[in-house]
Chain A
Amino acid sequence: MSLGMVFALTGAVLSTAMAGIGSAWGVGRAGQAAAGVVAEDPDSFARVLLLQLLPGTQGIYGLLVTFITLSRIGILGGTPVTDTHTGLLYLLACLPIAVVGLVSAYHQGMCSVASIGLVAKKPDQFGRAMIFPAMVETYAILALLISILCITNIG
């Protein structure tokens, strides 16, 4: 009996779990800052909410990769993985979004906290404040891309 399925599923699970942990972390941090700003200035709610949500996308990218993986390894469709080799390939393919998602969401959350501070002091700088967290997200997007390209080209 091969461990192929075990490895493939591990990869699928890790991408949602790790990227999700990162996003929860980032969104949580940013949420604390956002609540503080809204306490002082309730009108800024919409703006700081957007900034808070920015680190949330990694979790979604993780979910995306999990879903694509599941639909190819015979759980939500596709052909079941029968050999350890292919299973390990799936595991590796999931790692970029899992690891980069975790770390980038954390740092993006920090950026969001800072940007929320910026918007609190200068509400008209919202357009620029949004860009700083978005810069961090680039690397999550690149990781997502590589994960997808890997998974769709295995087997």
Chain B
Amino acid sequence: MAIVRMQKLGIAANKKHRKAILETLQGLGAMEIFTDQIDEEDLRVMDTMSQRTQFQKEAEAFDKVLKLLDRYAPKAKTKSLNLTGREIITSEQFRDAETHREEYINDAKAILKGDKQISECEGYIVKDQNTIASLEPWMKLDIPMNLTETKKTEILLGTLPDPITEEMLYAAATRDMESPAVMTQVLSSESGQTCIAALVHKKDAAKVEENLRLIGFAKPAMLVSRTPAEEKSRLERDMAEQKKIIEDTKETIASYGDRREYYKISADYFRTRAEKYRILGTIPQSEHVFFLEGWVTCDMSDRISRLLTEQFGAYVEKEETKETDDEPTVLHNNSFSSNAEGILASYGLPRHGKVDPTFLMSIFYVFFFGMMLSDGGYGIVMAVGCAILIKKFPRMEEGMSKMIHLFFWCGISTAFWGFMYGGFFGDAIDTIAHTFFGVPEDQKVLKALWFEPVNEPMRLLLWCLLFGNIHLLTGLGIKGYQCLKDKDTEAFICDVLSWYLFVVGLILVIIPTDLFAGIAGAKVIFPGWLVVLSRAMAIVGAVIILLFGERGKKNWALRIAMGAYDLYGITSWLSDALSYSRLLALGLATGVIASVINLIASMGGRSVVGVIMFIIVFILGHTLNIAINALGAYVHTNRLQYVEFFGKFYDGGGRAFVPFKQANRYIQVKEEERL
């Protein structure tokens, strides 16, 4: 349970070893490089921006290629990397990919070009479909649409807003005309658009067009040089062609599928190089020498400095840590508690010089999670499920692995509390015994080891408040430990000890009262000395808080007023403690809903249909209940840690350690131990 001590190293070496040293450090992945800029005329930093961008682009191209291959050649698809972990490849494979990288870049270009072609073709197809749809109303027309005149006649094509019959159209077109030479035709009629054609002798053309305009005639937006039917079949042929191209291109892309492994290596190769150039762009260099600074963990510092000195003749200096240094945080915990580091990290890592609460938190975490889910069957399902995942995917990604290990322990704790409360898939054992084996209703088969919360909720509530107060006092205790570590005895007495006295004293004062007896259902009688002691503790604690809670204030009146306000903070302690009633509420929720599921499942009675129905409802219902209650337990356990526990002492604010390493997403190069 500790924060690992860090050492700052300063390195100076000959520039000819620059590449080798950077690659060695990157391979080790144990140093966070952060070089202070030295204001010296002879020292320059290289501008590596363009190379870096170039490499990043290559890496992204390969990422995209891999996605495309997953789509078009789905055989041996990339599995969830979180679970399976990165693929292990040998260093020969890596070097092989490195030498052929130009070839793979060309492959990637071809694949991306193919993808672009596919989207272009798809665009054409959509366009063709739209054109066909807009041609549909003109299908009856058997002349090219852009034909406007013959030798003696003019052709008027267009749309009207309202439906119209042939006769009405003719009448409207020839209004106020004597012996008109006009032929009209309604081509199609839909709501909002009626397509018509008119063949008119040239001498009448102007008049007819004017007549038609009166009823809303408008020329069409699109005119094609073929008859609509011809145009439609041309477009259909075009669509078929585009589809063919798409199919061919897809096949071409899929044919690259078996080189997928090399593209993975290439993607990571370029990403790693981009990362190297990022670092290269931050280090100051003179004509012959370059400088590096960075953080390593203390136990690595000797190995790294020896390696660099012996292999590359570098000068390595262990620098003193300054107050202003932004030292990164690495946590080191035992194999059980380290699983909860992710939970801590998502609140915020501790700063150096502060306490790492992971160990204590992990114990409470597992304990409270179990109380909330509290079902023997669910706990076993969870623990077994996690164990299978751990066995099946031994190389899963670290954060994921820790989470699953944590849930394994939570599952064990859940099973423990389940048997304490007498819950195994709710009251499944009793329901089965009563329904199918004829055990009398009033006979309990699975008895609780402790007691059943449904029957005695008040009793469990008191226990929850007790556990809550222990949790809160532990938090306050860590604050006290921190004060003592910082040699701030004043703060320890006034801010921590005073509250301990006050809270513990108050609790002891309340226990023998009638109020408590009413809740607990039993009167507790303390011996006289304990009564006196508890009152003394509460009063001493309260007085210290009142007088010294706000030590910084000079004005005594103000100081006492503020002290009184601090004392009022006991209400927030009360609300924090009551917050632990969720341990009871969520525990009850799991048990009661599980019983409801069993009740519904057993409604089929003692018959074959009844058994089948029981199994189906049982499986579906309990799966749902596990999922929803595990989520609730997870969220609310986190909340108890973050809000109630951390609220007492912890503010995070540490910075995660980000070592300079290979930026591998898909692969892990298996290398001989270098040190």
- Partner-B contacts on A (CB < 8 A): 50, 53-54, 56-57, 60-61, 63-64, 67-68, 76, 124-128, 130-131, 134-135, 137-138, 141-142, 144-145, 148-149, 152
Contacts of A152 in B (CB 8 A): 454, 457
Min distance, Cβ A34 to any Cβ of chain B, angstroms? 14
Contacts of B595 in A (CB 8 A): 67
The reply to whether B581 and A141 contact each other, CB–CB distance below 8 Å, is yes
Contacts of B584 in A (CB 8 A): 145
Min distance, Cβ B448 to any Cβ of chain A, angstroms? 16
Min distance, Cβ A104 to any Cβ of chain B, angstroms? 13
Contacts of B588 in A (CB 8 A): 64, 148
Chain B positions 623 through 640: 1 when the CB is less than 8 Å from some CB of chain A, otherwise 0: 000001001100110110
The reply to whether B592 and A64 contact each other, CB–CB distance below 8 Å, is yes
How many angstroms from the CA of A133 to the CA of B343 in the assembled complex? 17
Contacts of A68 in B (CB 8 A): 454, 592
Q: Does B421 contact A (CB under 8 A)?
A: no
Of A60, A141, A149, most buried by chain B (CB within 10 Å of CB) is A141
What are 17 inter-chain pairs, A to B, with CB distance below 8 A? Answer: A53-B628, A57-B628, A61-B589, A63-B593, A64-B589, A64-B592, A68-B454, A124-B346, A127-B346, A131-B642, A134-B639, A138-B582, A142-B578, A142-B581, A145-B581, A148-B588, A149-B457
For the complex of A and B, the 10 pairs showing the least CB-CB separation, nearest first, are A127-B346, A134-B639, A141-B582, A141-B585, A144-B585, A64-B592, A134-B635, A145-B581, A145-B585, A67-B596
Contacts of A64 in B (CB 8 A): 588-589, 592-593
How many angstroms from the CA of A142 to the CA of B586 in the assembled complex? 11
Q: Does B143 contact A (CB under 8 A)?
A: no
The reply to whether B632 and A57 contact each other, CB–CB distance below 8 Å, is yes
How many angstroms from the CA of A62 to the CA of B596 in the assembled complex? 13
The reply to whether A134 and B636 contact each other, CB–CB distance below 8 Å, is yes
Min distance, Cβ A134 to any Cβ of chain B, angstroms? 5
The reply to whether B631 and A134 contact each other, CB–CB distance below 8 Å, is no
Contacts of A76 in B (CB 8 A): 599
Contacts of A142 in B (CB 8 A): 578, 581
The reply to whether A127 and B592 contact each other, CB–CB distance below 8 Å, is no
Q: Does B579 contact A (CB under 8 A)?
A: yes
How many angstroms from the CA of A129 to the CA of B377 in the assembled complex? 30
Contacts of B458 in A (CB 8 A): 149
> Other CB < 8 Å A-B pairs besides A60-B589, A128-B642, A137-B636, 4 of them?
A124-B346, A127-B343, A141-B581, A141-B585
Min distance, Cβ A38 to any Cβ of chain B, angstroms? 17
Q: Which residue of A lies closest to B586 (CB)?
A: A141
Q: Does B94 contact A (CB under 8 A)?
A: no
Q: Does B467 contact A (CB under 8 A)?
A: no
Contacts of A128 in B (CB 8 A): 346-347, 642
Min distance, Cβ A135 to any Cβ of chain B, angstroms? 7
Contacts of B343 in A (CB 8 A): 127
Min distance, Cβ B599 to any Cβ of chain A, angstroms? 7
Min distance, Cβ B349 to any Cβ of chain A, angstroms? 12
Contacts of B118 in A (CB 8 A): none
The reply to whether A135 and B643 contact each other, CB–CB distance below 8 Å, is yes
Min distance, Cβ B641 to any Cβ of chain A, angstroms? 10
How many angstroms from the CA of A64 to the CA of B590 in the assembled complex? 9
Q: Which residue of B lies closest to A65 (CB)?
A: B592
Contacts of B596 in A (CB 8 A): 63, 67
